[in-house]
């Protein structure tokens, strides 16, 4: 099942289930709660063509947005870093979450904007000390993530949170695909294009720490809650580590696609002056 949050012509957010090229309305219960409630089929809701809706993040404000660094051996190698012995965990602030087709802002304080296509796990139930064997029962589903990164802000301090958390730098979606529909999350092709050029191509079978190991590791430290998002890491091919670096500029379009999950696509724009008036 593919569960979306969406709006029609600027209306209030709704929740729907994707059927072919339509969205069938199922009310306003957030996707994670809808899945937890056991809803599996639309019950006579209004159908709207996907082309006529604005897709919103399937998780609007995750309680926690955790991410894993250097979780593909080829990415660690291109960064000239050792393969990690333990998961490299950092946080992205919830305020960075963006629509699956929303604009990515190139910040005025940096010219080192980069992409990272990733598989995202969405937690479905409150849990602690979950074994890898039991982890599948804790997962509501999966999303496509672009872990947008501001490289100079990321590397100027020992921890990466701020450089990973600029506004708009966490596009997720296009919907929440339930775990039962995904099947094995460790057999999914993952690809990232910039302006139609394939930059990243790998498969989740190459994760160093797989989805279930990550749930086990993280839940040993903190209670995982419904709606928590875990970005599982990016493969080789990021712009900063190309020779010469190929970083994002206004007008670039980044598309991240994962088998059985769909794709997100985001155009880069210069940070607008209107940001000065927020709040």
Three-point CA angle 267, 120, 161, nearest 5°: 75
Contact 146, 168 (CB under 8 A): no
79 and 188: one domain? yes
239 and 212: one domain? yes
DSSP β-bridge partners for residue 91? 66
Mean pLDDT of 159-185: 97
40 and 69: one domain? no
Q: For 87-96, 106-115, 270-279, which range has the lowest pLDDT when averaged over its residues?
A: 270-279
Query: Final residue of a domain: which of 56, 76, 94?
Result: 56
Average pLDDT, the chain: 95
- pLDDT, residue 260, reads 98
Percent residues over pLDDT 70 in the chain: 97
69 and 52: one domain? no
89 and 167: one domain? yes
Number of domains observed in the structure of the chain:
2
Query: Final residue of a domain: which of 56, 78, 97?
Result: 56
- Look up the CATH number of the domain holding residue 47: 2.30.30
Query: Final residue of a domain: which of 14, 29, 56?
Result: 56
DSSP the chain: -EEEEEESTT---EEEEEETTEEEEEESS-HHHHHHTT--S--SPPEEEGGGSEEE-SSSS-S-EEEEES-BHHHHHHTT-PPPSS-EEEE--GGGEE-TTPPEEE-TT-S-EE--EEEEEEE-S-BSS--TTTGGGGEEEEEEEE--EEHHHHHSSSS-TGGG-STT-EEEEEEEEEHHHH--TTS-EEEEEETTEEEEEEEGGGBSS-HHHHHHHHHHHS-B-TT-EEE----S--GGGSSS-----TT-EEEEEETTTEEEEEEEEEPPGGGGG--
132 and 86: one domain? yes
pLDDT at 73 over 60: yes
The boundaries of the domain holding residue 78 are 65-277
52 and 69: one domain? no
- Listed in sequence order, the DSSP H helices in 156-243 are 179-182, 211-221
102 and 43: one domain? no
19 and 72: one domain? no
266 and 148: one domain? yes
Would you place residue 264 in the very low, low, confident or very high pLDDT band (cuts 50, 70, 90)? very high
Three-point CA angle 196, 198, 201, nearest 5°: 145
pLDDT at 248 over 60: yes
129 and 262: one domain? yes
Distance, CA of 125 to CA of 36 (rounded, Å): 8
pLDDT per residue as tens digits for the range 182-228: 999 999 999 999 999 999 999 999 999 999 999 999 999 999 999 99
Would you place residue 277 in the very low, low, confident or very high pLDDT band (cuts 50, 70, 90)? low
- Look up the CATH number of the domain holding residue 248: 3.90.850.10
Percent residues over pLDDT 90 in the chain: 91
154 and 222: one domain? yes
pLDDT per residue as tens digits for the range 20-64: 999 999 999 999 999 999 887 766 789 999 999 999 999 999 999
- pLDDT, residue 279, reads 44
- pLDDT, residue 239, reads 97
């Amino acid at each position: 099942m593919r569960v979306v949050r969406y709006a029609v012509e600027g209306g209030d957010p709704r929740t729907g289930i994707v059927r072919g090229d339509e969205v069938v309305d199922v009310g306003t219960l957030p996707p994670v709660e809808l899945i937890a409630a056991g809803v599996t089929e639309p019950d006579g809701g209004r159908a709207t063509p996907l082309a006529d809706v604005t897709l919103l993040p399937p998780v609007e404000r995750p309680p926690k947005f955790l991410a894993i660094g250097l979780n593909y051996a080829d990415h660690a190698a291109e960064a000239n870093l050792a393969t990690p012995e333990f998961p490299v965990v950092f946080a992205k602030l919830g305020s960075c979450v963006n629509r699956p087709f929303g604009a990515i802002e190139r910040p005025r304080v940096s010219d080192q904007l980069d992409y990272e296509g990733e598989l995202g796990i969405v937690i479905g139930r409150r849990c602690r000390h979950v074994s890898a064997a039991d982890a599948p029962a804790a997962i509501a589903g999966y999303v496509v993530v672009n872990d947008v990164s501001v490289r100079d802000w990321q590397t100027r301090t020992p921890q990466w949170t701020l450089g990973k958390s600029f506004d708009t730098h966490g596009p997720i979606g296009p919907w929440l695909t339930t775990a039962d529909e995904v099947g094995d999350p460790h057999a999914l092709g993952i690809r990232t294009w910039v302006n139609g050029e394939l930059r990243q191509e790998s498969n989740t079978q190459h994760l160093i720490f797989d989805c279930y190991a990550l749930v086990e590791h993280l839940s040993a430290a903190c209670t995982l809650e419904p709606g928590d998002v875990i970005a599982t890491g990016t493969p080789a091919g990021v712009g900063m580590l190309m020779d010469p670096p190929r970083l994002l500029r206004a007008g670039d379009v980044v598309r991240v696609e994962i088998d059985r999950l769909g794709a997100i696509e985001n155009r880069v724009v210069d940070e607008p002056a209107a940001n000065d008036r927020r709040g």
